[in-house]
Amino acid sequence: MDSKRVSLGFLSMEQKFSSKKMEHRSSGRREIVDIHTTKSRKKGLAGLFEGFVRTFRNFGFALILLPITLIALLCMGVSAVPGMYLYHIVDKATDGYPLFLMLVCKGLSLSAGYFLYGITLIFLVPLVNKILPLRLRPWRGNWYSLQTIPWYYHNALTYIVRFTFLDFVTPGPLNILFFRMMGMKIGKGVMINTTYISDPALITLEDFVTIGGSATIFAHYGQKGILILSPVVIKRGATIGLKASIMGDVVVGEGVVVPAHSALLPKTRVPDHAKFVVPAQQWKAPQHESSEDSSEADRSNETKDKESA
């Protein structure tokens, strides 16, 4: 059996299997998307609202995001309650303490309160995500469409946890638990050493997958004014290197090691047990002149200087 190798370029990846290039072909005919239209094909109130959003894009966009802003404030406010309650108890208990001891106790209560906030948020946000009647599904179409609303809301909820607390418990069981509760399919023995993950409901990590530090995984991409939501599948035993980027509509085969700082573009299919071949950086060693050549060159330069004088 021929060896499987994947050659990684600067902005694109060329795949080779049995010395033949793999081509990505789209299945079926795709519907042409008019990104400038202000009309909607939907009927009833849904069609009227989508047409309104497409006509008044900035205002319509703000109108769509207003509810999730309120939901985010609610999640963060409720999650802060346990920490605030702890501080309230400590504040009353330390009344009359010496100043230094009182400040130490209150400082510790604030720190512990922040972690109570984060842990509460990790469980509350997935609950809200599940209660909302919005489910993230693969889709392709105009950015200003009703189908984009679940994408906005799902990622907004994910980012609340990601940007306010998740880094403190990554890697670890809590970050895996959070992404699993947000809909990510995660097998056993998985290690996730990053928080740079979007669209968790469209991502599958099979058994014993390792995601390296600061790696980026997201199941969407934009193309010519069109938003495309497409699943990412990382198969059993694969490793995603430090700061590598995995975009939407990518499948990484079993046992594959994606090199650090590399990028897998949409529609990439890396075969099982393929090996990346990253061209080594080439440089030219400095050429050192011999002492005889150097002295001869010096004499020649002196002669030229005398002649010119």
Asked if 139 and 185 sit in the same domain, the reply is: no
pLDDT digits (tens, 9 = 90+) for 125-180: 999 999 998 889 998 988 888 888 899 999 999 999 999 999 999 999 999 999 99
Give CA 263 to chain center in angstroms: 12
- 25 has pLDDT over 70: no
Kindly report the average pLDDT of the chain as a whole number: 83
d(C-alpha 158, C-alpha 64), whole Å: 17
Q: Is 259 helix (H, G, I), strand (E, B) or coil?
A: coil
Asked if 193 and 146 sit in the same domain, the reply is: no
Peptide bond between residue 82 and the one before it cis (omega within 30 degrees of 0): no
- 14 has pLDDT over 80: no
Residue 242, CA atoms < 13 Å, CB-side half-sphere = 0
Q: How many domains are there within the chain?
A: 2
Helices 99-131 + 173-181 axis angle, to 10: 30
Residue 30 has what pLDDT?
A: 64
Report the pLDDT averaged over residues 93-119. 94
Domain-embedded: residue 189:
yes
Asked if 192 and 143 sit in the same domain, the reply is: no
Asked if 137 and 244 sit in the same domain, the reply is: no
CATH of the domain at 182: 2.160.10.10
Asked if 134 and 228 sit in the same domain, the reply is: no
The strand order across the sheet containing 210-211 reads 191-192, 210-211, 239-240, 257-258
Asked if 94 and 160 sit in the same domain, the reply is: yes
Domain-embedded: residue 306:
no
Domain-embedded: residue 284:
no
Of the given ranges (118-122, 128-132, 281-285), which has the lowest mean pLDDT? Answer: 281-285
* In the chain, alpha helices (H): 44-55, 57-93, 99-131, 149-164, 173-181, 291-308
Asked if 149 and 216 sit in the same domain, the reply is: no
- 79 has pLDDT over 90: yes
Is this model's pTM higher than 0.85 or not? Answer: no
- 297 has pLDDT over 60: no
Range of the domain at 90: 39-168
d(C-alpha 60, C-alpha 145), whole Å: 10
Closest CA to 120 of 80, 73, 69: 80
Domain-embedded: residue 303:
no
Q: Side chain identity at 137, as an amino acid letter?
A: R
Domain-embedded: residue 51:
yes
pLDDT digits (tens, 9 = 90+) for 151-165: 999 999 999 999 999
Residue 6 has what pLDDT?
A: 55
Helices 57-93 + 99-131 axis angle, to 10: 140
Alpha-carbon separation of residue 252 from 190, 242, 246, 283 (angstroms): 15, 16, 9, 32
Domain-embedded: residue 309:
no
pLDDT bin (cut points 50, 70, 90) of residue 238 is: very high
Domain-embedded: residue 123:
yes
- 19 has pLDDT over 70: no
Closest CA to 64 of 178, 159, 145: 145
Closest CA to 144 of 220, 31, 247, 226: 226
Asked if 45 and 66 sit in the same domain, the reply is: yes
